[in-house]
Chains A and B, each alone.
Chain A
Amino acid sequence: MIQFQLNGKQVSANVRPGTTLLDFLRDKGYFSVKYGSDKGETGADTILVDGNMMNASLMLIHTVSGKNIETVESFAHGQDVHPLQDSFIEEGAIQCGYCTPGMVLAIESLAREKDNPNESDVKDVLAGVYCRCTGYVKPVKAAMNYLATGEPK
């Protein structure tokens, strides 16, 4: 039995030891965490573990014992939208949207970690979140707007 925090709630997982966190989360209906590849390159499976971005598909369930896991599901409750998500919508940074939750988590982890991050910091955290639609132009802009003001422009 593995216990950890998931989006602020204590959860228990009684699953096989080879279960990845991606398997577990999707099984529980956390669909913002997605399959993109088997080696973590696409980052469609990005989550935050104690605030650090990681690939859920590369984590076995036993390693999250006692950790604090966050997914995008925790970001906006009810009708409210997190200002970072709003910035993505406002800036046109979403096309197919498959990578968007991963990008949002990546930028959020950067915002928490670093004061006044610059564009190359943004690109660095997005390097592990592949997007085939946008060319990263608008996602970087959306991130910079949010990081500069905490709000979409």
Chain B
Amino acid sequence: MKIVGKKTRRVDGLSLAKGKAVFADDMPKKDYLYAKILHSPIAHGKIVSIDKSKALALDGIEIILTHEDFTPHYFTTAGQGYPEPSPRDTSMFNKTMRFVGDRVAVVAGESLEVVEEALALIDVEYEELPTIFDMGDSIDNDTVIHPGKDGFSFLHDASRNIAANISEELGDVQKGFNDSDYVFEGTYFTPYAQQCSIEPHITLTWLDENDRLIIRTATQVPYHVRRVVAEILDIPVGKIRVIKPRIGGGFGGKQEILNEEVCSAVTLNTGKPCRLEYTREEEFYAARSRHPQKVTYKIGLNKDLMMQSIDMEILQNCGGYGPHALTVMSVSASKTLALYRAPNVRIQANAVYTNLPPAGAYRGYGAPQGYFALESLMDEIAEQLNVDPIELRKKNYFREGEDVSIAKVLGEGREGFPVILQSNGIDACIDRGRELIDWDTLKNEKKSGIFRRGVGMATVAQASGIAGIDMGSVFIKMNEDGSFNLNMGATDLGTGSDTALAQIAAEVLDVPVDKMIVISSDTDTTPFDTGAYASSTTYVTGAAVKKAAEDVLSQILEQGKKLLEVDEATIENNQVVSTDGQSISYQDICTKSFYTDHQTQIQAVASKVSYDSPPPYNATFADVIVDTETGFVKVNKIVSITDSGQIINPQMSEGQAEGAIPQSLGMTLTEHMIFDDKGRPINTDFENYHIYTSIDMPEIIAEFVHTDEPTGPYGAKAVAEIPINGPAPAVANAIYNACGVRIRECPITPEKVLNGINQLPIK
């Protein structure tokens, strides 16, 4: 291959490096109305009355919209395929407030100054209701957060505060435990953590010259935005155009219809352009985050270390509303249970409502929570049985050719599709990581002194798109200079998918990447794509690109043969070459096809939906130092080795892993959204919510091992999410190796470690 697997500069690199006007807000000044949301100051209560007269009287205030202005229409803010598997439990403005930060009103005016003044002048009377903050208290609480209402759907059991439930069993788990030589159990917790894309949520809306609604927004899901806004505001989809420019990071946070419908409502009601941008503070309490989960794993195995039964129980806090409530849990289960084989498997999961901010999609989408539990417990089992944790794992992996039966029962909101593994590079990942972290020396050296060093590891899997649901489509057309337009709905959220997909097209068409002109994510000019989530773009849309490019290539060949008047020809170096030695260049073929001979536009469209979703695999190793006098943990080094099949762009793929690691380390050690006893957020800035910066970074080594996935474009599997699953359990395991303390609750704060050290029989 000439281009796939080779270093390729980003197609958008130059414009980004030069700071060109490529992001949503980088627009020449229009006469925008500036909009801001009035957020609920209380965690649970009914709005009794809203008096907006004083605010409306201010000079420059254009409009204030509240629940009084709309007939309730229930939807989910989750940006998912239709019908969405998330509960439809919210409307644009609700009459009941369910968390501090819930939406009371939108105020729009000619300057932010007057809008902020107006926010303070809106008088809202609330009737406060009892609150639930601890997810353990939610089920069957006297307080019901979503008392049954018409219009709700997909909500599991509103009267018991259960937004979503999963209950599945393969085989007979209890019998499996009875037959096992050993049974181990552990419960693990992961907290609210925030995506923290540096660009906040921002949406601009206006009406074009034909009175169509234009939505320019920082989103991962432009097509879902179009569909949901149309539905909420009751206008035809064809009246809306959604444009996703470059976006400043998403990580799942922008897989949400967060403010687009509000901004659109202002524009439709006033006829004026509107701009709605979140502040950093709002990002922390009025956007989305990672679902806190309490995960209990119970594993039965025999003396030969082969697993007999796995039982997984999840309690998930989805906050005041349930976007992604079901599917995040489903991923926690399906991605972890697809790693190890056991004849008997059971999953019982509940997502419950509380009066805290609704969580949503965040890179890994449930898998990081599940893997923290599973891979911590695997080390605990190895420790107790006194066996090598790597050997224990290796005995139990699903292997190539095997049927990952859990995949079929756990689809995303409906039955899934069977997965027969065709590529699994986990052994090679482990071997390489073991060498790079110096495992055998560091694991076994004697630990002593105040500062103790330890190593830990974890192995993890993910998936490549959602089988049978994710769909990508592309349109390629040829230009007379031998360049090609590649138009696709796929959404590059900073990941580099525009480049990777251009590489696939260029590989097929036998042209340099700079001959590909990429336009993506504009609902008027690019064909449909479900959007950038579930690690789907390279695998699913990549296959669509390959298909369309192959079609274009065969048209070029046919047209070339016609123009050369020959029956046999091949394509070599941007030319069609006949067996008798004649040739015609791409340029000439296209020019003639446009203007003189056999006139036609060489072009193709293709769609791809995959019923396979092959798991990528990863082994993550951590090297840490624990200060045994204070409990502080410093991460020295993380090694992350991934099997993503054939890598399309090595440099960008490494970048995915290098960026995922500090996000995971944050959740493991330092990041934790916290709330006071009234449910008010405490740490809503970066002085108090601690993400890894340049000076905090450990040494990172991210590499890939090669496998060939027969179902993927050029053998590719997914890259984007998997590297975020491993660091948390690897660090927890390394802490145990360093000082003998097992922490089962993230973030692993110094005090928890020190308390553990103080309780050890021998220090």
Residues of A within 8 A of B (CB): 26-27, 29, 31-39, 41-42, 44, 71-73, 75-76, 81, 85-86, 88-92, 94-101, 104, 122-124, 126-127, 129-140
Question: Is B651 an interface residue, CB under 8 A from the partner?
Answer: yes
Contacts of B19 in A (CB 8 A): 31-33, 71-73, 100-101
Q: Is the CB of A94 within 8 A of B197?
A: no
Docked Cα-Cα span, A71 to B697, in Å, equals 27
Q: Is the CB of B18 within 8 A of A39?
A: no
Do A92 and B652 contact each other (CB < 8 Å), given the known contacts A98-B23, A100-B16, A136-B694? yes
Q: Is the CB of A138 within 8 A of B658?
A: yes
Contacts of B28 in A (CB 8 A): 29
- B656 CB to closest chain A CB, in angstroms? 8
Task: Kindly report which residue of chain B lies nearest to residue A41, judged by CB atoms.
Answer: B686
Task: Kindly report which residue of chain B lies nearest to residue A43, judged by CB atoms.
Answer: B198
Q: Is the CB of B655 within 8 A of A92?
A: yes
B1-36 toward A: CB 8 Å interface, digit per residue (1/0)? 000000001101110111111110110110000000
Task: Kindly report which residue of chain A lies nearest to residue B8, judged by CB atoms.
Answer: A92
Contacts of B663 in A (CB 8 A): 132
Q: Is the CB of A41 within 8 A of B687?
A: yes
B495 is contacted by which of A81, A95, A100 (Cβ under 8 Å)? A95
Contacts of A132 in B (CB 8 A): 195-198, 249, 251, 659, 663, 691
- B272 CB to closest chain A CB, in angstroms? 19
Docked Cα-Cα span, A26 to B202, in Å, equals 15
Docked Cα-Cα span, A33 to B19, in Å, equals 8
Q: For chain B residues 198-214, which have a beta carbon within 8 Å of chain A?
A: 198-200
4 tightest Cβ-Cβ pairs between the two chains A and B:
A32-B19, A96-B494, A97-B16, A98-B248
Task: Kindly report which residue of chain A lies nearest to residue B7, judged by CB atoms.
Answer: A92
Contacts of A44 in B (CB 8 A): 198-199, 248
B198 is contacted by which of A36, A123, A139, A140 (Cβ under 8 Å)? A36
Can you give 19 A-B contacts (C-beta < 8 A)?
A36-B199, A38-B685, A41-B686, A42-B686, A71-B19, A96-B16, A96-B493, A98-B197, A98-B248, A122-B694, A126-B694, A126-B695, A131-B198, A135-B655, A135-B700, A136-B658, A137-B658, A137-B697, A137-B700
Docked Cα-Cα span, A71 to B19, in Å, equals 9
B17 is contacted by which of A71, A94, A126 (Cβ under 8 Å)? A94
Q: Is the CB of A34 within 8 A of B496?
A: no
Question: Is B507 an interface residue, CB under 8 A from the partner?
Answer: no
Docked Cα-Cα span, A95 to B23, in Å, equals 13
Q: Is the CB of A130 within 8 A of B279?
A: no
Q: For chain B residues 341-386, which have a beta carbon within 8 Å of chain A?
A: none
Contacts of B695 in A (CB 8 A): 123-124, 126-127
Interface of A is mostly: loop
Docked Cα-Cα span, A130 to B199, in Å, equals 11
Chain B CB within 10 A, most for which of A35, A85, A132 = A132
Task: Kindly report which residue of chain B lies nearest to residue A86, judged by CB atoms.
Answer: B17
Q: For chain B residues 38-83, which have a beta carbon within 8 Å of chain A?
A: none
A133 is contacted by which of B13, B659, B687, B693 (Cβ under 8 Å)? B659
Task: Kindly report which residue of chain B lies nearest to residue A37, judged by CB atoms.
Answer: B280
Contacts of A95 in B (CB 8 A): 249, 494-496, 652, 655, 659
- A32 CB to closest chain B CB, in angstroms? 2
Q: Is the CB of A35 within 8 A of B200?
A: yes
Question: Is B247 an interface residue, CB under 8 A from the partner?
Answer: yes
Docked Cα-Cα span, A54 to B702, in Å, equals 33
Q: Is the CB of B198 within 8 A of A85?
A: no
Q: Is the CB of B280 within 8 A of A38?
A: yes
Q: Is the CB of B655 within 8 A of A138?
A: yes
Q: For chain B residues 325-355, which have a beta carbon within 8 Å of chain A?
A: none
Total contacting residues, chain B, CB less than 8 A: 57
Q: Is the CB of A134 within 8 A of B655?
A: yes
- A31 CB to closest chain B CB, in angstroms? 4
- A140 CB to closest chain B CB, in angstroms? 7
Question: Is B489 an interface residue, CB under 8 A from the partner?
Answer: no
B613-628 toward A: CB 8 Å interface, digit per residue (1/0)? 0000000000000000
Contacts of A126 in B (CB 8 A): 693-695
Knowing that A34-B248, A99-B198, A135-B700 are A-B contacts, what are 5 other residue pairs whose CB atoms are under 8 Å apart, sorted by A's residue number?
A: A32-B18, A34-B25, A95-B659, A127-B694, A138-B655
Residues of B within 8 A of A (CB): 9-10, 12-14, 16-23, 25-26, 28-29, 195-200, 246-249, 251, 277, 279-281, 493-496, 651-652, 654-655, 658-663, 685-687, 691-695, 697, 700, 702
Docked Cα-Cα span, A84 to B112, in Å, equals 37
Task: Kindly report which residue of chain A lies nearest to residue B693, judged by CB atoms.
Answer: A127
Contacts of B661 in A (CB 8 A): 135
Docked Cα-Cα span, A100 to B249, in Å, equals 12
Docked Cα-Cα span, A129 to B197, in Å, equals 13
Task: Kindly report which residue of chain A lies nearest to residue B27, judged by CB atoms.
Answer: A31
Docked Cα-Cα span, A132 to B329, in Å, equals 25
Q: Is the CB of B655 within 8 A of A133?
A: yes
Q: Is the CB of B281 within 8 A of A38?
A: yes
- A134 CB to closest chain B CB, in angstroms? 5
Q: Is the CB of A96 within 8 A of B248?
A: yes
A135 is contacted by which of B279, B495, B659 (Cβ under 8 Å)? B659
Do A123 and B17 contact each other (CB < 8 Å), given the known contacts A31-B26, A98-B249, A132-B251? no
Docked Cα-Cα span, A39 to B18, in Å, equals 25
Contacts of A130 in B (CB 8 A): 198, 686, 691, 693
Q: Is the CB of A98 within 8 A of B495?
A: no
B18 is contacted by which of A72, A99, A123 (Cβ under 8 Å)? A72
Q: Is the CB of A104 within 8 A of B17?
A: yes
Contacts of B660 in A (CB 8 A): 135
Q: Is the CB of B694 within 8 A of A81?
A: no
Contacts of A27 in B (CB 8 A): 29
Docked Cα-Cα span, A99 to B198, in Å, equals 8
Chain A CB within 10 A, most for which of B14, B19, B23 = B19
Docked Cα-Cα span, A37 to B198, in Å, equals 8
Q: Is the CB of B685 within 8 A of A39?
A: yes
Do A31 and B20 contact each other (CB < 8 Å), given the known contacts A37-B280, A41-B685? yes
Docked Cα-Cα span, A50 to B171, in Å, equals 71
- A46 CB to closest chain B CB, in angstroms? 11
Task: Kindly report which residue of chain B lies nearest to residue A129, judged by CB atoms.
Answer: B694
Task: Kindly report which residue of chain B lies nearest to residue A124, judged by CB atoms.
Answer: B695
Docked Cα-Cα span, A34 to B247, in Å, equals 12
Docked Cα-Cα span, A140 to B29, in Å, equals 35
Contacts of A42 in B (CB 8 A): 198, 280, 686
Q: Is the CB of A81 within 8 A of B18?
A: yes
Q: Is the CB of A94 within 8 A of B13?
A: yes
